[in-house]
Structures are given as structure tokens and as C-alpha cells.
Structure 1
């Protein structure tokens, strides 16, 4: 059977609204059209179905048995269509009930908990799945749409025309030493004097690994690396135990200042990490991402205000 072109979703929605209210004016208010438009839509639907749905009693339209049958099946049609739209959008990552967020281990000290708390206030029904990994790995997963957004260091790995980027804050790189180290009391360190010392680094792919390479190049030597680890917490533990020194971002000091001492680098060795939100341009209108963007902007503004007031 061929469906008449005059049977449209809009007319079905008008019909269902009228069946709920039994009144042209109330139906017109809900659908935000005129009474005349409601009457025309119902009459057009009857013509397209090639059977009556209502009978006239004075100025009132009284549903026939055919109207109740059509109402039952039309409700299922609309419900199935709404579900189809939702499932399709979820499959594409739009307005899903789950937000897959990627981040660096070091950002879980303060940044990520703050963002997630704010995001849950905006969208309490949202389930947030957090994946912690290296900068390079997270960028790869974002490109492959395995995650929805990442908060990482902005460097050559995030340089892509497919990405939208929201800068959030900058973070200095410090030398991390044990609390009892002979260097612990220094106000700043000349890294070139540490050629004979042993260092611990993160594995390749981590932003801090790349930044450390740049700093060591500035210092003019290849470090003696005793160990490479896959997360910053293990690295801090190793430094605290005296296994070696490391170069670390300042954001970890708020929690780990009792374990290690962070010493500023002399001006000619200084480098900053630029941290920001990265997501695919194709998803920039997704409601979940819009909420995350708003939280990241608030965090960036607070960070900027705090930095300015501290100067």
C-alpha cells in the first residue's frame, strides 16, 4: 500500500494533540498555530486516509472509532520515530547519555575534578567516562571517535584542521627532587649543572616527556635516564624515593608538595605547557560538549583571575 504524501508527521502530531485535548483552541496553543490551521490539518488527514475520523456535533468535532484506532497506532509511530532519532544521534555521539572524556594523569589533581563537578550540576543525568593516557594516545582516540573530547597539552599532536581547541591555562615545568636533596633549598636551578645526575621520565607520547626533551636540549646534555614510567604518580613516587630527578608540571605541587620539592628552572631553561580542551569540529553543536565547553571556559576564567590576583 502506498502512503499518501498528505499524511505528514506534523499532521499526525496535530491529530494526537487534538485527541488529548478534544479542543481546537488548546490544540492550537500547544502546536503554536491558529485554530483554522488545526481544522485544516485534521480535514486534510481525513482526506489522505480516505475515511472520516470525526463527526460534527454543532461546532465540535467528535472522534469516531476510526480516530481511536488511528490514535493508538500513530502514538506508536511517533514514539518509534523519536527513539530512532535518539539512537541515531547517540550512535553518532550527539546528546548521548555518556560523555567519554580523555585527560592526562596530572590533570586529575585539580582540573578534572573541578570540571566534572560543574558538568554534573549542568547535566546531572550525564554519565561521564574518564580515560587517562598520554597526549599522543588521547589525540589518536579522539580522531578515531573512540572518545568525545580530551583535555591535554596543546602541541604538535593537537594541530589538526579537524579539531576545535579551547585554551584553558599555562603551566610551568619544574625540576622535581626529593625533599632531602641538596638542591631542595634552591630558589631556582641551573639545569646544565646536573649532567651527572640520574633522571626519571615518562614514556614517549606524554607531553611532559616531549617538554623534558626540549629543556634538556636547552641545557646542552642528554640525561642519564634510570627509568621510564607510564604515569606521573609512579614518577613522583620514584623521585620521592630518591631513584632520580624529574621534570614535572607545577600543577602537581598542590597535592605532592610533601613528597617532592619543585624547583623553578633558570630563565634560559624555562618552558610552559599550554593546557586546553580539544574536540572534533563535527561535534561542536553536541549538547554534552556545549556544557563541557562552558565549564572549561569558567575554569579558564577562574584560573586567569587567580593568576592575575597573585601577581
Structure 2
């Protein structure tokens, strides 16, 4: 079996389209199609159903994809490890981090790593959880720093909890809600919201809580993939509600917000590191994980 044929197969399986896969790999469509056919002949299996919309995996093709994808990632890890040993270098660390955790948690750890390892090379992807998870599955990241919610629970990943970071409903300090003697979930439905997009775990969690309590879904008038810290000016000048983390509340921008004292919409969550189970990590990646762990331990210390 030619390795290039396997790469052609994996690219088509991921994209579902020969043209897109050829563009991603920088090869011609005829060369890619020929490689797929060669692989099918060698395996004596039909891997794809050709449809007007593209290429769909057959049942044997799906099984082969799951196995071969892991095998290819394992080979990539082996090549990276051998290259690191041959060069005698620390290697490259490829980390993903959500926007919330970049400035106040991840960035200081990177500064410390560069002070210790001046020749270090770091590739950082800052994005939302779903995009980072996809990159991690594809072998594009060594690890990611994120909220360890349900979608990160998989046999493919190992999870390293770092510190708690609860999520609260919040608003400007003078919001009408804070004048009520008692706040219930139904009161929140009377106001409009600033929230992340529907693909984000925190938004899905909040909507589920509303549904479970028989309340209408939050009326979202502003959607953003940025941290709330970047949009505090909107909250301070409107009666919009939002979800905000402890990290943001402790920052300069977040101190202007008030927390709605309602346990029913408080998400007790854990921030942590997610990494491929059993995958190779360079010494540099291991050191950055250690530094992140040290910074997390400092966060867990009681504040005086």
C-alpha cells in the first residue's frame, strides 16, 4: 500500500469531495482519483459511493477510515519523535486554546516557557471548542486548553483538570433585576441576551436549562465568538444579560458586572487540558503542560 494513496483516501473521507481534497493536498484530481482506485483494488473493497453531491463512505469504507486515521496519526507521531531525537532539539509544541483562556492563563505560561527555552517554537490556535476539537482529532494539535464539558469526554482523549471556572449569568451593576427581592429563572426570560453562537457549549447548556424549567429560550440579540470581556461596553449601556466566567469577572472589564444570584443557571465547570490518548508529545509540549499545571495550582490557592 502506498502511503500517498492512504493520504488521498483520508482527505476525501474528511471532505466528502474529490475536488476539495485535491486542493487541500495540492495534487490533480485525476492523480487523486487514480490513487483511490488503486487503494480499492489493493484492498478489494469499495470504499466510497460516488454520488452527485460528492463521495460518501461505504460501510467497509467507514470502518477502514476509523482504523487508518488512527494509524496515520500514529505514524506522524513516530516521525515527529524520530526527527526530534535526530536533531537533538526540543521540538515544536502545537497548542490550542479558547479565547477566554488565552490572555489571562495561557499567555503567561508561554512567556515563562520562552524564558526557560529561548529556542522554543510554539504554534498557537485560538478558537472555540468545536474547532479546536476538530483540529485535535485531525492530529493538528498536541493538546488544547478548554472547558472540560461533556463533548470532550471520549476514549480518544485524556483529560487533565486544572482549575474550576464557574459560569454565571451577569449584567451591569444597576440592572433592574438586582432590585428584585428574589430572582427566579422566569425573570431572566423577560430580558434580551448577548451570547455566543448556538454551536458553543455554554449557549447550549443555558438553553437546555431554560427548556428544562419550561421557560422560553433566551432572546439573543447579539451573538459573538469573542470573549465577553471584549464586549463589556455593550452590557454596561444596555439591559442585556450574558454568561460570564470567573476569569472574566476577576479581570478589569469584568469587575463592572454584577452576578445574578441564581444557582439554577450557574454552571460549575472545570478548565483543563485535552490531549490525544497515547499520542507523542515533544519535550517542549510536556514542559508547557507542566507550566500550565503550576499556574493552575497558583489559581487554586485561597485569595487573601
TM-score with structure 2 length normalisation?
0.63
Match for 1:128 among 122, 125, 150? 122
> 1:139/1:211 Cα in 2 relative to 1: closer, same or farther (>3 Å)?
same
* Residue aligning to 1:227: 222
Contact 2:170-2:259 at 8 Å conserved across structures: yes
Deviation of 1:270 (Å)? 2.4
The answer on whether the counterparts of 1:176 and 1:239 sit within 8 Å (CA) in structure 2 is no
Identify if the C-alpha distance between structure 1 residues 156 and 268 changes in structure 2 by more than 3 Å, giving closer, same or farther.
closer
Match of 1:266 in 2: 262
The 2-side partners of 1:211 and 1:116 are apart by 31
Whether the 8 Å CA contact 1:176–1:245 is kept in 2: the answer is yes
The alpha carbon displacement at 1:289 in A equals 2.2
Find the residue that maps to 1:282 and give its secondary structure: coil
Match of 1:158 in 2: 152
Match among 237, 240, 245 for residue 236 of structure 2: 240
Task: Report the counterpart of residue 302 of structure 1 in structure 2.
Answer: 298
* Aligned with residue 207 of structure 2, among 202, 206, 213: 213
* Alignment match of 2:138 (pick from 138, 141, 144): 144
Unaligned runs of 5+ in 1: 1-84
Residue 283 of structure 1 corresponds to: 279
Q: Secondary structure at the match of 1:157?
A: helix
Which of the pair has more CA radius of gyration? 1
1:188 positional shift: 8.5
Deviation at 1:108, TM superposition (A): 2.3
Within 5 A, what are the aligned runs for 1:15-164? Answer: 89=83, 97-164=91-158
Q: Contact 2:99–2:126 (CA<8 Å) still a contact in 1?
A: yes
Q: CA RMSD in A?
A: 3.0
CA distance in structure 1 between the partners assigned to 2:284 and 2:207 by the alignment:
36
Q: Which residue of 2 aligns with 1:39?
A: none
1:182 alignment counterpart: 176
Which has the larger displacement, 252-261 or 149-158?
252-261
Contact 1:215 1:270 (8 Å CA) reproduced? no
- Counterpart Cα distance in 2 of 1:130 and 1:188: 44
Task: Decide whether aligned partners of structure 1 residues 291 and 186 sit closer, same or farther in structure 2, where only a CA change above 3 A counts.
Answer: farther
- Alpha-carbon spacing, 1:271–1:95, altered in 2? closer, same or farther (3 Å): farther
CA displacement at 1:259 relative to structure 2: 7.0
Distance 1:140 1:290 in 2: 21
2:190 is matched with 196
Assess, with a 3 A threshold, how the Cα gap between structure 1 residues 265 and 89 changes in structure 2: closer, same or farther.
farther
In 2, the alpha carbon distance for the partners of 1:188 and 1:117 equals: 45
Determine the structure 1 residue equivalent to 2:250.
254
Cα 1:108–1:187 shift into 2, 3 Å:
farther
* Cα distance in 2 for residues equivalent to 1:285 and 1:171: 27
1:48-71 Cα offsets, whole Å, 9 max, x none, are: xxxxxxxxxxxxxxxxxxxxxxxx
Residue pair 2:92, 2:282 contacting (<8 A) in 1 also: no
Q: CA offset at residue 275 of structure 1?
A: 0.7
Cα pair 1:165 1:278 within 8 Å, conserved: yes
1:246 deviation in Å? 0.7
What is the rounded CA distance, in whole Å, between the counterparts of 2:286 and 2:81 in structure 1? Answer: 20
Report if aligned partners of 1:208, 1:248 keep a CA contact under 8 Å in 2. Answer: no
